[in-house]
Structure 1
Amino acid sequence: MPRPVSPAGHATRGTTNTNRLRRVDRWIAALPELRRADSPLVVDLGYGASGVTAFELYDRLRRTHPDVEVLGLEIDAERVTRATAQLAEIRAGQTRFPVDSRISFARGGFEVPSPHPATVIRAFNVLRQYDEADVAEAWRMMCSRLAPDGIVVEGTCDEIGRVSSWIDLDSGAKPRSLTISLRLAELERPGIVAERLPKALIHRNVPGERVHRLMTDLDASWERNAGLGTFGTIQRWLAVVSDLRATGWPVRTPKARAKLGELTVDWASVAPLGAD
């Protein structure tokens, strides 16, 4: 009998907060790859000490795609046991989540032991605790478990989900874009996201690197458009997004999503030097 494969990676700190990943969930829900899939499997990789992020992910995505299925994976066996017990409470009607939620939990890491290829793999606040040198192999392993048109969404956020950023990768482990998402109310400056950049970029926020120029341009435009704050932070942020587009940044963000505090740019515009 073959020996079971040990999960690839190591357990994270497990920090989990209700509603923490709402920004990236909202972005995933709008993905055309998810919407056109027949029976999409979405993996919540490294969900942490509680299964709540997987429950919330399912609850948000089912409104877009009723046939979606969510699989939560954790290296720590005790976390899998705890999340499975939480799922039993859902099945018993003791929570606000649907009793027939299509959610399951299993032990696993970057090798993603899923029953079939995933449409989306969300790995949030996982690689932040690794070395930058580990990123490429983790990306490769996760992307190898995708459906042909699947996507890995890898990123990080602050403890309460007001500042987020993520990279999306195709099934060939090629990064496509960087997205930042900020709660605009009471935002002091958008460059605060530098503290929550994905592992592939966080140490590259230094003069000469592309992502540093993005952070600098964001803050400079935010200051230039300070007067628009009279009309609200959304108008000020829309002006920032417009500025970046006008000055040559390859902005992918439509106005409707920019109003949510999002900005998406092509990966090539922020990729670390030497990684082209």
Structure 2
Amino acid sequence: MAMTQPVHRSRRMQRRYLTAVTIAALVLSMLLTLLSARVASAVGDLTVRVYTDSNRDGDFDSGEPALSGVPVLVYNTDNNLLYSVNTNAFGLAIFPSTPNGNYRVEVTNPANGAPNGTVISLPGPVTPGQDNALVFFVTISGAPVQRDVGLRSLDASGIDPGAPVGVRTVVVRAWDDRDANGIQDAGEPGISGLTLGLYNPSNVLVATAASGPDGTYRFVDNVPANASNYTIRVTGGIPAGWVLTTQDVNFNSEDQRDSDAQLVGGVPRINVPNRPRGVNDDSLDVGFSRGAVSG
């Protein structure tokens, strides 16, 4: 009897020890799971797909050719280059575990608009508003983000033979130039709710465009090709409480993301470049600021 008591006591201690170890392991596992989820939520994967938009509909369709070797650059809100990746054999530039935040993405297109080169395709009717742009903005917030960029090929004469005869597409972005420097930066949102009009050289309105929530205004296949002296105007003038930001800062070295509008008779006006059939343009922009404008 005297010997059984120490044995029972030892077994009880072993059971308590094993229980304590099991509980500690469960607590540690829960803490690691929570920590992993917290870390994972602070990043997201950014993927950019560049492809040939064969049917010219602005959406990626199965079987459309991928474009490899296209440099894709990612900048932060301070305009510092963070990443530069060439698209792979599947047309994908992948930026894994990108920290949460706002970013500017630039798709390099060295032969943009040149004979035998490429141009941006039409803006997609279904995809997010800033798809099919050579420069666009994304927000990473703990989840994967993908953007598709479709390009069209030009022939030796510098036209897109798949575009309707005599026209091309122009997309204008209106944005809130929060630092009033005339340049679109990551984190500066688009301005919706305006109406932009396309005017011919006789000052006759020939087309209008209303925006989506991202601040892009789309003139799809209604801008005359090989035509000069057309303008795009903010028909209601400068919105109340805003001022027009500086035009063409840095002498057009940042033309894909600077403001192209000048004030004429109280109306912001953009001169539309003369381009051939199907040579689309997504580089025209108009910036507004609520503060003093630099320059």
Q: TM-score, normalised by structure 2?
A: 0.28
More strand by share: 2
Bigger relative contact order, structure 1 or 2, given CA contacts below 8 A and separation 6+? 2
Q: Which has the higher helix share?
A: 1
Of the two, which has the highest radius of gyration?
2
